[in-house]
Structure 1
Amino acid sequence: MEKIWNKIRMSGLALLALVIGASCAKMDDYKRFVESGEISYTGKIDSVVVFSGDGRVYVQGLFMSDPKVASCRIYWNNMKDSVAVPVVRTNTVDTLKQFITLPENLYNFRIHTFDALGNRSVAVYATGQAYGQAYKTSLNNRLIISAIADQADNVTVMWRDVDKTLGAIGTEITYTDKEGKAQLVRTPVSEKQSILKNYKPKTEFTYQTLYIPDTLCIDTFAAAAEKHSYAYKINRSNWLAFADSYEATGQLPNGGSPYFVLDDNPNTYWHTKHSSGTSPFPHWLSFDMKKAVKVDMIELTSRHDYVTADFRDFLIEGRNSEAEPWTTYGSYNLPDAQGPQQFLISGSPTVRYIRIFQLNGGGEPHSHLAEFAVYGSEVN
């Protein structure tokens, strides 16, 4: 047993001699490295954050407990460029706050602190982005579905969804109210409509979508401003109305002529032939608006007491002369519902003549409609 313990002691001593020898070698190397004198390091900066910006970055950090720190230098471009920042120490934690103007690029920064003798700290590294023209030209405004004025001159702007990958946060609208005052409305990207109250008729509004490209960005960017007109209910007082057929009903004077859909009275209505010579679908109503109109939307109001018995699927068509063929702008479905229902027309075509071509109905061969209106703007 004693022999075993002697072997263990001998093995331990041998291992200890190896460790001491290696340590001595390391110390010899260190001594050779510092033969010219002892190295003195200044306390480094802590908690460095580089905020991105428009043609600039903002560098922030903390000078902690080392009272010897007298200055700081921020390097970039492989230390070819730098900026010196004086440091005035207080009895508390002091903060580095430095703007640096830079061309658009992603930058790697190296930061050293220095004492009054020029001794520097170990390096602290950070990354930051300066944005510029390349980013700005990639920005687009949120697309408008419609901008419709009501009878109280409040304009409702409906928005399409927007790509959020570039940092879109909202859209800013400026317009003039009826008192001649400039108004500003901001709508976040999460909302689908903006309300412009007390809007001055026959004026345009200006809009631009706002962007913050990343969570550390200190600046807000905007797509190029655009102007947009609103749509209003077109005056129908001199329109001409036509239909494939019409016939008075037993409830006169409430039913019959296609002109009933232009009288602003939802209790009157157009009705196709129904008592003699009844014809099946398709049916149609067409209108000569007497001048060219940029059409954004049509509004239909069903006969309130027979919403399930009028037409269902229909086309919106237009043309600019009676010699032209009809152009179809879209197919739609009329729900069984009371009150005005609105149908947007993609592309907002400019036409003088407009038609709703009714393809089928709710089980009856005849058709009827209480009101027809167009929202858009008259073309001079």
Structure 2
Amino acid sequence: MEESYKQYVVPGGLTYAGKATSPKAYSGLNRVKIAWLRGSDPSVVKAKVYWNNFADSLSVDIPPSGDTISVTIENLLEKKYTFTIRTYDGKGNSSIPVEVVGGSYGEKYQAQLLTRPVNSNVLNANGTLTIGWGGADESNGAYASEVKYTDVSGKEQHKIFSVKSLVSEIPDMKPNTNYQFRTIFRPDTLSIDNFYTSYTDGSGLFSFNKKSWKIISYSTQHSDGDNAVINFIDGNEATRWHTCAGCSSYPHFATIDMGVERTITQFGVWRTTFETGGDDRGPDKFDFLTSADNVTWVNQGSFNFNRLINGEQRYSLPNKPKARYFKFVGTQGPQSYMVMGEISTYGL
């Protein structure tokens, strides 16, 4: 009766080493880390990890202590792998095979990563930079933004901000300097490596926060409230500064104290949208003047303004003046009075 299977019977039975327990594969940059729990078999002294259908393998010595065994397989092509783990005791008996699936990431993954954009840079009077972030490619593994800058002591700093944050603050950036930023990715939750986009320069055209700004002089205003000159710097193009109708004429001006000296590289002007569709009673031409002390003024130029369109109209200042004060002077327009919406300055 035993004749049909007798040749397959091993006297005393087969001895198996304790198998790898709860293995996991951790992805990385052209590498994968394999880790598993030691298990309860003290006779296990070695393990072997196979991949590519057993064409490639790596031996691992099992130390006499420790709860976790791990090995990192380097120089892998970018693809998914099935890894097979066998453990061995001192007599050469092997365990039953245990499989775990993991992947290696490389140039293909790196090439599709997108830097999270910066929507705004606002610098307040105390020198704190507030960065407003755009959307991050979280579906591809984006989890943080890194900002590199020089602090007030001259040291290079790196700060990491979660992609869940819509705004980030840098309170100690050195004045008149720029910053760089990049996005950090993890392709999956078990990745042992981060992936980075290339650094991108901050715009260098920081929008100056207007909360500390003051109107220190002006030509006229039609009345307080809806027509007040303070509306010219309230951050809302839907409000208006309306000079006195019937009792004023060009030039019309407003002088603004930013509270701190800045390097101004650009400024922007809006017509008001207080009226439905926009108000065309702005100037056709204006001057922009700057001063460090509100005594000596430099005219940075005469500029054309399109009073027939909504939205910000930006103007560059090639001289990049350092100034605490600036003056907007409407010089020519269709009426004797003038109506404006908003003004902003940008720079370092």
Structure 2 distance, partners of 1:143, 1:124, is 44
Amino acid at match of 2:103: Q
**Is the 2:205–2:265 contact (alpha carbons within 8 Å) kept by the matching residues of 1?**
no
User: Residues 63 and 180 (structure 1 numbering): CA distance in 2 closer, same or farther, change over 3 Å?
Assistant: closer
Cα distance 1:248–1:322, how it changes in 2: closer, same or farther (>3 A)? closer
1:216 and 2:190 matched:
yes
Cα distance between partner residues in 1 of 2:284 and 2:246 = 31
Query: What is the one-letter code of the residue matched to 2:31?
Result: R
Q: Is the 8 A contact 2:121 2:130 kept in 1?
A: yes
Q: Quick check: 2:182–2:197 contact (8 Å CA) kept in 1?
A: yes
Q: Within the alignment, does 1:271 sit opposite 2:246 as a pair?
A: no
Written as runs of structure 1 = structure 2, the 5 A alignment for 1:163-178 is: 163-178=137-152
Give the secondary structure class of the aligned counterpart of 2:6: helix
Q: TM-score, normalised by structure 2?
A: 0.66
Residue 272 of structure 1: CA displacement? 5.0
Once the two structures are TM-superposed, the CA of residue 45 in structure 1 deviates from its matched residue by 1.3
Structure 1 length-normalised TM: 0.61
Equivalence map 1:93-172=2 (5 Å): 94-103=67-76, 104-172=78-146
Task: Name the aligned partner's letter for residue 271 of structure 1.
Answer: H
Task: Report the alpha carbon displacement of residue 249 of structure 1 after superposing the two structures with TM.
Answer: 6.0
- Distance, in Å, in 1 between the alignment partners of 2:284 and 2:185 is 39
Contact kept, 8 Å, 2:222 with 2:242, in 1: the verdict is no
Match of 1:53 among 28, 31, 38: 28
Q: Is the 8 A contact 1:62 1:94 kept in 2?
A: yes
- Quote the Cα distance in structure 1 between the aligned partners of 2:223 and 2:198: 57
Q: Report if the CA contact (8 A) 1:310-1:368 is conserved.
A: no
Cα distance in structure 1, aligned partners of 2:79 and 2:188: 14
Q: Cα gap change, 1:184/1:317 in structure 2, threshold over 3 Å: closer, same or farther?
A: farther
Q: How far off is 1:159 after superposition?
A: 0.6
1:165 alignment partner, SS class: helix
Structure 2 unaligned residues grouped into runs of 5+: 210-218, 234-239, 248-252, 254-263, 286-300, 318-327, 331-336
State yes or no: 1:373 paired with 2:343: yes
Going from structure 1 to structure 2, the CA distance change for 1:373 and 1:152 (only over 3 Å counts) comes to farther
Residues in 2 aligned to 1:322 and 1:349: alpha-carbon distance in whole angstroms: 13
Q: Which runs of 5+ in 1 are unaligned?
A: 1-23, 235-246, 263-268, 277-284, 286-291, 303-308, 333-344, 357-365
Of 31, 34, 38, the match for 2:9: 34
Q: Deviation string for 1:98-145 (max 9, x for gaps)?
A: 111132221110111112232211110001112222222221211011
Deviations 1:160-190 (A, max 9, x none): 1212111111111121233323333322111
Aligned to 2:109, what secondary structure does the other structure show? helix
Give the alignment of 1:196-275 within 5 angstroms.
196-228=170-202, 229-233=204-208, 270-272=241-243, 274-275=245-246
> Whose radius of gyration is greater, 1 or 2?
1
Task: Say whether residues 1:80 and 2:55 are aligned partners.
Answer: yes
Residue by residue over 1:263-322, the C-alpha shift from the partner in whole angstroms, topping out at 9 and shown as x without a partner, is xxxxxx95356449xxxxxxxx9xxxxxx9555x6689x9xxxxxx95465499999x99
Task: Measure the CA separation in 2 of the matches of 1:194 and 1:107.
Answer: 39
**Contact residue 69 and residue 89 of structure 1 kept, 8 A:** no
Structure 1 vs Structure 2: percent identity of aligned residues? Answer: 26
